[in-house]
Amino acid sequence: MMDDYKNVAAKECVECFCWALRIFLIKCKRPRTFYRYSSISAFKGVVEGNNLWATHWAYLNDAKELKRGIEIAHIVFSRIKQIERFTSNADYFSVLEKYVSKLNNDISFNIDVYVLCFSEEKDKLSLWRGYGNEYNSVVVGYDVANLKTDENNFGLPFIGKVIYDEDEQKKMMLMYLVRYYEMIEEMYKRFPKQKGEIEKIMKRYFLVGILILSLFIKEKCWKEEKEWRMIFLNPDADFLDFKETANGLIPFVKVPIFKDHAIRCIKNICLPKSSNFALREKAVKMLWEKFCEKNDIKKDLKVKESSISIVY
């Protein structure tokens, strides 16, 4: 069929960044528990709505995340330019060079990628301060075995541990760029009459790939967060919603990530250390019991008090 080349190119592009991610992320052993720092109202929303909220990549806390990934791509590409194997064929190399040179301008906010953030740390001061809501904060421990990490309403999520080591970041980006070069060569040889269309398709997916890889790249100063991420590409618009903040609206999607119900997936929660901890604990357990009864589930909730005296 006439459009076969479009389907083939799109499939190859997706497999390329999936492959690069798996090489680095699959070797990371997942912890049994993912911890998520948030407000107590967000915890209430999880139990009520039976979902987690994934934020649009452009509205994450650290605005420099994407910039870091693009910097790594430029550093790695400058090394590739010194290797004759790649530069000897100008037709293929010039396409990749064009993609990389325009990264800063071409990655668009319109790329629909949403991110769920977790941590291995169950009680960390910097995380309380960075992602909680002062004394109305909570850390929720989720049983990883009860999260959908395979095919679901949103397709297959990209799951992995954030990479803080610069050498590892460069290796991952190098593998991606080299494989993309090889793929350009393969597609041009396979569909010589559709080079122009092939280039447009591959550019779109190249940008998506760089964006997804960049979301697993953070500077070493964030290493203590021990962050894990689930990334969702092009989720169904029916799940889209908006959160009101002091800085305006933030787009997010409600991810039906639990295999059964959120109540069965939540292992424990941790509340800030405070003089009225007993009252806070009582209210949380009342909420828990209400939704257990509503969903015909019998399960106790372990509520812990933080070991850290947090001063806001």
**pLDDT by residue (tens digit) across 247-294?**
899 999 998 889 889 999 999 999 999 889 999 999 999 999 999 999
Q: What is the dihedral of CA 123, 128, 134, 139, to 10 degrees?
A: -50
What is the structure's pLDDT at 22?
Answer: 78
Residue with more model confidence, 102 or 137? 137
Question: Does any domain span residue 53?
Answer: yes
Reported confidence tier of residue 151, pLDDT bands at 50, 70, 90: low
pLDDT in tens, 178-195: 999 998 888 888 888 888
Residue type, 296: D
| CA gap 66, 235 in Å, rounded | 20
Q: Are 126 and 224 in contact (CB under 8 A)?
A: yes
Q: Would you say 116 and 54 are in contact if contact means Cβ atoms under 8 Å apart? A: yes
The reply to whether 312 falls in a domain is no
pLDDT of residue 154: 56
Which residues, in sequence order, are CB contacts of 294 under 8 Å at separation 6+? none
Q: In the chain, what is the straight-line distance between the N-terminal and C-terminal CA atoms, in Å?
A: 63
Collapsing DSSP states into helix, strand and coil, what is residue 248? strand
Mean pLDDT of the chain: 88
How many domains does one find in the chain?
Answer: 1
**Domain membership of residue 154 as a residue range:** 4-305
How far is residue 113's CA from residue 217's CA, in Å, rounded to a whole number?
15
pLDDT of the residue at 26: 65
Name the 3-class secondary structure at 245: strand
Identify each DSSP E strand in the chain by its residue range: 33-39, 52-56, 113-119, 137-143, 158-161, 227-233, 240-245, 248-255, 266-271, 302-305
124 domain-assigned: yes
pLDDT of residue 1: 45
Q: Which pTM does this prediction carry?
A: 0.90
Three-class SS of residue 217? strand
Contact (CB, 8 A) for 177 and 96: yes
Q: With bands split at pLDDT 50, 70 and 90, how would you rate the model's confidence at 197?
A: confident
**pLDDT (mean) for 69-81:** 93
Question: Do the domain assignments include residue 180?
Answer: yes
Asked whether residue 253 is domain-assigned, the answer is yes
Residue 165 or 61, more confident: 165
Is residue 269 included in any domain, yes or no? Answer: yes
Give the number of other CB atoms < 10 A from CB of residue 36.
Answer: 21
Residue with tokens 């460069």: 170
Q: Is 244 inside any structural domain?
A: yes
**Lowest-confidence range among 17-26, 44-53, 195-204?**
17-26
CB 16 within 8 A of CB 209: yes
Query: What number of other Cβ atoms are within 10 A of residue 163's Cβ?
Result: 21
Confidence of residue 66 (pLDDT cuts 50, 70, 90): confident
pLDDT number for residue 296: 92
Q: Is residue 241 part of a domain?
A: yes
> Are the CB atoms for 270 and 123 separated by under 8 Å?
yes
Higher-pLDDT residue of 77 and 10 is: 77
